[in-house]
Copies of this chain bind each other. A is one copy, B any other.
Amino acid sequence: MNGNSFGKALILTTFGESHGLATGGVLDGFPAGIPVDPLFIQSELNRRRPYNAAFSTTRNEKDRIELLCGIFESKSTGAPIAFIVYNEDARPEDYQELKDLYRPSHADYTWSMKYGHRDHRGGGRASGRETLARVAGGALAKLFLNTCNISVVAQISQIGPLPIQPAVSDPQQLPAEVLAYIEQLKNAGDTTGGIIHGSITGVPPGLGDPVFDKLEADLGKAMLSIPAAKAFEIGSGFSGVSMKGSQHNDPFILREGTIHTTTNFSGGIQGGISNGEEILFRVGFKPVPTLQQEQETLTTSGEKIRFKPRGRHDVCLVPRALPVVEGMAALVIADHLLRARSSRL
Contact = CB atoms under 8 A, between A and B. Distances in A.
A285 B273 CA distance: 17
A102 to B, nearest CB: 6
Interface stretch (A3-11, A38-46, A50-58, A169-177): A3-11
A5 B108 CA distance: 30
Interface in A110-125: 110-111, 113-119, 123-125
Nearest to A248: B287
Interface string A76-88: 1111111010000
B238 A284 contact: yes
A91 to B, nearest CB: 16
Contacts of A168: none
Contact of A109 (B4, B84, B246, B275): B275
A68 interface: yes
Contacts of A60: none
B69 A113 contact: no
Contact of A82 (B24, B217, B271): B24
Interface centre among A123, A158, A217, A290, by most chain B C-beta atoms within 10 angstroms, is A217
Given A77-B119, A286-B240, A338 B205 contact: no
A244 B106 CA distance: 15
Nearest to A268: B110
Contacts of A68: 15-16, 20-22, 24, 84
A340 interface: yes
Given A15-B26, A225-B212, A245-B287, A77 B259 contact: no
A187 to B, nearest CB: 13
B249 A104 contact: yes
B80 A4 contact: yes
A312 interface: no
A17 B109 contact: no
A208 B194 CA distance: 24
A66 interface: yes
A339 B232 CA distance: 25
Interface centre among A1, A30, A291, by most chain B C-beta atoms within 10 angstroms, is A1
Given A4-B28, A105-B249, A115-B344, 8 more contacts: A32-B343, A33-B344, A109-B205, A113-B206, A230-B237, A245-B290, A246-B293, A249-B291
B342 A1 contact: yes
A185 B127 CA distance: 49
Contacts of A311: none
A301 to B, nearest CB: 10
Contacts of A78: 2, 114-115, 117, 343-344
A244 B244 CA distance: 35
A202 interface: no
B147 A345 contact: yes
